Amino acid sequence: MSMEKTFDPAAAEARISAAWEKAGAFRAGAHAKPGAEAFCIMIPPPNVTGALHVGHAFNIVLQDILVRWHRMRGFDTLWQPGQDHAGIATQLVVERKLAEEGNARRQEMGREAFLRKVWEWKAESGGTIVNQLKRLGASCDWERNAFTMSGAPGAPAGEARKFHAAVIRVFVDMYRKGLIYRGKRLVNWDPHFETAISDLEVENIEVAGHMWHFRYPLAGGATYRHVEKDGEGRVVVDEVRDYISIATTRPETMLGDGAVAVHPSDARYAPIVGMLCEIPVGPKEHRRLIPIITDEYPDPAFGSGAVKITGAHDFNDHAVARRNGIPCYRLMDTKGALRADGLPYAEAAARAREIAAGAVAGEAEVDALNLVPEAYRGLDRFEARRRVVADIEAEGLMSGVEAKPIMQPFGDRSKVVIEPMLTDQWFVDTAQIVGPALEAVRKGDTVILPESGEKTYFHWLENIEPWCISRQLWWGHQIPVWYGLEITDSGLQTKSGEKVFVSTVTGDPLDRGNRTNPDFWFCAATDGEAVNLAREKIASVFGVSPNTVDVFPFDIAAAERVRREDSRNCLDPRTGQVVSITDDPELFKEAFRLTFMTACRKNGRIQYAIHRDPDVLDTWFSSGLWPIGTLGWPEKTPEFQKYFPTSVLVTGQDILFFWVARMMMMQLAVVGEVPFRTVYLHGLVRDEKGEKMSKTKGNVIDPLEVIAEFGTDALRFSLAQLAVLGGMPKLSTERIRGNRNFGTKLWNACRFAEMNGVFAEDRGDGVPGARATVNRWIIGEVGRLREEVDAALGAFRFNEAAQALYAFVWGVVCDWYVEFAKPLLTGAD
């Protein structure tokens, strides 16, 4: 078969790809020399949210070059492929798809049915991704394809790998070691997805905002002399005021103010520190009074120097509130609307006044108080802001408003304004596990390239914050913790002589905020184990044998549904509290049915109900275990032993914190080893002008379209050329076209050889013994080239390797060697 003048990528790629697959050329250890050193790369698992873009292509090509380079030289090579379940992103995609297809919404569908839909989506999307990776020529060991949710309950056939088990195992271990904790903290709340997110998932963007200045009247009509001085000590203001002036960019949060703070050194306010002032909003007869306190936080030079403290909706304020024992009143619901639940405003405000006056209130009670006046209840936060401003202005207590650019937090996926929200969440206590991760890079156990990446890594880890890992989503690894209500032995007995149990927990057993005592949390890999833990715990509380305790895990979502749909409610509507349950079977039946109350004694046995935390883990918690999870840990698989720690991680610098740093911490915490020896960070692929590619700009280069037009090699070579260490890859179609031409050039050199019968005879392996000077010369040149390419790749300078090959093929082989060879081939040899 003689060769065409131009290379036909489509035909060749399909043929070669099939041959590779048939030969098992990419299997772990393929082409390894006996006793060879291992070389392993874990693919950064693409999300199962859709098609691959050119950024993936870039990432894949670099890995493929490293992998093939090692495999070719006889290393025992594994390139581990797989996909990430990508909690929020995938849930979003599937919800959108369901909506487009006119299906029931997730909430109507129920968790189980929805998850089945997600798995269907995953099967489709995962398959697409694998096929696209294959089109890019990725030489992964496809038989080992992994998925971060494989093996999870509800996973369909074909998802039997055990990644889920590894994730759960790590959670349980870390919990038991005290590396994971749960608590009520101010977290970044996404009102669109109605879940907490981590700090990293928040994008701070400057937007046009306003700063309003309001007057908080002093309580009881009190007045004071307000004196302001300029830099030289000259008095510029000296007047009698009956208010304190504060500034805010978020007037709607005033409703939850717990204090006004000034700096302790601020002489202007010294006369009124300790006094009360009034929040100038809401029905006049029930306005709340809050104290004027001192704290280091306010900057006397900024604004009026006085700051309103809203502990439940601002991170700074929260810290101030904590330090000073100021209550944190939550104003919003999960959708970011002002709360409509709880007691009427008048009663809530009355209680808040008592608290302000010194009444003791627990965290749960404070959280349950809804201090939103009826007029604002249920309003969206932005609408509430408008109303609050209008109302204060109408009352004449607004002293000004200025336009001001402000930094506002947005959800990276939802693009809605993030709300600091006081909620119960799970956290990794990163401070405890960060040390080894820092140390490993400092010592060089892991090297990050380019070097600037190490600086960024250090900077972030040295200032690490706790990592919020719980998400109020359905698609993900469900947190392996079961809760029961706190129960104590009251010592009381019924007439028949059996003990009465007392639940010491106040509030609603179905309330997520009500799982306060960790002694009654049961963290275990399976519900069976959780039941056993609970059984032993309850038995020990009452001093009985575990054999006499029955533990019932129940589904809290079902319980909530039962409650919603039942018009009767045996809980005290005021407090939501159930105090004690005796062994009265009728009472038990009623209570259990309506509230899923947690314990009773029945037929001489203790019965105790537990329910699993409905939340799931942050996607990055599971992908943080990618290196060990894909290799079969916790089992000591041969692959784990051979390929871990892995050799190189090739990934985008944008996920240095999200993923790389966390993998370092997690692997070191779990198996005490670094996950990889070298991290190669690359930039985001941009268009030829250096702008981010986006659908709206229309400058997206679709790798599949490029492949269709120019062939995979043209794309791959272009991407390799762009891989400058620390550089910003800018891709243009022109470049790809140029490299398609390069491919043609190479093709034609081969065609020339073929036309001259070079391939007709089998010359065997190894370096041919050349006699002609030209041939000896070119063999030497090839050797030089190889050294050059090896050196470049060894230093992760893909662009230099590409450049060397380009210059050699075009400038040496084609320009000179082919020409020199012509007389040789046409001559009488």
Partner RNA sequence: GGGUGGUUAGCUCAGUUGGUAGAGCGUCUCGCUUACAUCGAGAAUGUCGGGGGUUCGAGUCCCUCACCACCCACCA
Query: Which 589-618 positions form the footprint of RNA (CB under 7 A)?
Result: none
What's the Rg (C-alpha) of the chain? Answer: 33
Of the listed pieces 438-446, 576-584, 635-643, 750-758, which binds RNA according to CB under 7 A?
750-758
745 lies in the binding site for RNA (CB under 7 A): yes
Query: Cβ of residue 708: shortest distance to RNA, in angstroms?
Result: 13
730 lies in the binding site for RNA (CB under 7 A): yes
Q: Which of residues 231-250 bind RNA (CB under 7 A)?
A: 246-250
Query: Cβ of residue 211: shortest distance to RNA, in angstroms?
Result: 6
Q: Considering the complex, state which of residue 246 and residue 481 has its C-beta at the smaller distance from RNA.
A: 246
822 lies in the binding site for RNA (CB under 7 A): yes
Query: Cβ of residue 811: shortest distance to RNA, in angstroms?
Result: 7
112 lies in the binding site for RNA (CB under 7 A): no
Residue 296 corresponds to which tokens in the numbers above? Answer: 């280091």
Residue 83: count other Cβ atoms within 10 Å of its Cβ. 25
751 lies in the binding site for RNA (CB under 7 A): yes
790 lies in the binding site for RNA (CB under 7 A): no
Query: Cβ of residue 253: shortest distance to RNA, in angstroms?
Result: 8
795 lies in the binding site for RNA (CB under 7 A): yes
Residue 161 corresponds to which tokens in the numbers above? Answer: 């790998």
572 lies in the binding site for RNA (CB under 7 A): no
Instruction: Reply yes or no: is the peptide bond before residue 405 cis, omega within 30 of 0.
Output: no
How many angstroms separate the CA atoms of 535 and 170, rounded? 23
Residue 825, strand partner residues: none
727 lies in the binding site for RNA (CB under 7 A): yes
Q: Considering the complex, state which of residue 79 and residue 214 has its C-beta at the smaller distance from RNA.
A: 214
Q: Which of residues 356-415 bind RNA (CB under 7 A)?
A: 406-407
How many angstroms separate the CA atoms of 514 and 595, rounded? 13
Query: Cβ of residue 234: shortest distance to RNA, in angstroms?
Result: 21
- At position 108, the amino acid (one-letter code) is E
Q: Considering the complex, state which of residue 724 and residue 774 has its C-beta at the smaller distance from RNA.
A: 724
755 lies in the binding site for RNA (CB under 7 A): yes
Residue carrying structure tokens 């249920």: 378
Of the listed pieces 221-229, 511-519, 629-637, 815-823, which binds RNA according to CB under 7 A?
815-823
740 lies in the binding site for RNA (CB under 7 A): yes
How many angstroms separate the CA atoms of 134 and 502, rounded? 62
Cα distances from 525 to residues 401, 479, 532, in angstroms, run 55, 9, 12
Q: To which H or E segment does residue 385 belong?
A: helix 381-395
Residue carrying structure tokens 């696209």: 132
Compute φ and ψ for 766, nearest 5 degrees.
85, 175
787 lies in the binding site for RNA (CB under 7 A): no
Near RNA by CB under 7 A: residue from 284, 443, 495, 689: 689
How many angstroms separate the CA atoms of 51 and 349, rounded? 53
815 lies in the binding site for RNA (CB under 7 A): yes
Q: Considering the complex, state which of residue 338 and residue 714 has its C-beta at the smaller distance from RNA.
A: 714
823 lies in the binding site for RNA (CB under 7 A): no
How many angstroms separate the CA atoms of 79 and 538, rounded? 49
For residue 538, give the 3-state DSSP assignment. helix
Binding mask 440-459 for RNA (x = CB under 7 A): -----------xx--xx--x
Count of residues touching RNA (by CB under 7 A) = 73
489 close to 499: Cβ distance less than 8 angstroms: yes
Binding mask 339-358 for RNA (x = CB under 7 A): --------------------
Residue carrying structure tokens 């209680």: 351
Residue carrying structure tokens 């937007």: 207
Angle at 575 between CA 571 and CA 580, to 5 degrees: 55
All residues at 6 or more sequence positions from 294 whose CB lies less than 8 Å from its CB, including other chains: 261, 262, 263, 264, 266, 273
Q: Considering the complex, state which of residue 525 and residue 724 has its C-beta at the smaller distance from RNA.
A: 724
734 lies in the binding site for RNA (CB under 7 A): yes
All residues at 6 or more sequence positions from 239 whose CB lies less than 8 Å from its CB, including other chains: 225, 226
378: left (phi over 0), alpha (psi -120 to 50) or beta: left
Query: Cβ of residue 364: shortest distance to RNA, in angstroms?
Result: 27
Q: Considering the complex, state which of residue 629 and residue 683 has its C-beta at the smaller distance from RNA.
A: 683
Strands (E), 118-222: 146-147, 180-190, 195-197, 202-217
797 lies in the binding site for RNA (CB under 7 A): yes
733 lies in the binding site for RNA (CB under 7 A): no
Q: Considering the complex, state which of residue 518 and residue 738 has its C-beta at the smaller distance from RNA.
A: 738
724 lies in the binding site for RNA (CB under 7 A): yes
The greatest distance separating any two alpha carbons of the chain, rounded to the nearest whole angstrom, comes to 119
Q: Which of residues 607-666 bind RNA (CB under 7 A)?
A: 654, 657
Near RNA by CB under 7 A: residue from 128, 294, 316, 334: 316
814 lies in the binding site for RNA (CB under 7 A): yes
Near RNA by CB under 7 A: residue from 102, 444, 543, 690: 690
570 lies in the binding site for RNA (CB under 7 A): no
Query: Cβ of residue 828: shortest distance to RNA, in angstroms?
Result: 16
Q: Considering the complex, state which of residue 31 and residue 413 has its C-beta at the smaller distance from RNA.
A: 413
Q: Which of residues 253-312 bind RNA (CB under 7 A)?
A: 297-305, 307-308
Q: Considering the complex, state which of residue 524 and residue 723 has its C-beta at the smaller distance from RNA.
A: 723
Q: Which of residues 175-204 bind RNA (CB under 7 A)?
A: 199-200, 202-204
Residue 121 corresponds to which tokens in the numbers above? Answer: 């989506």
For residue 215, give the 3-state DSSP assignment. strand
Q: Compute the Cα dihedral for 551, 557, 561, 564 and give only its sign.
A: positive
How many angstroms separate the CA atoms of 603 and 601, rounded? 7
Of the listed pieces 169-177, 377-385, 505-513, 719-727, which binds RNA according to CB under 7 A?
719-727
- At position 273, the amino acid (one-letter code) is V
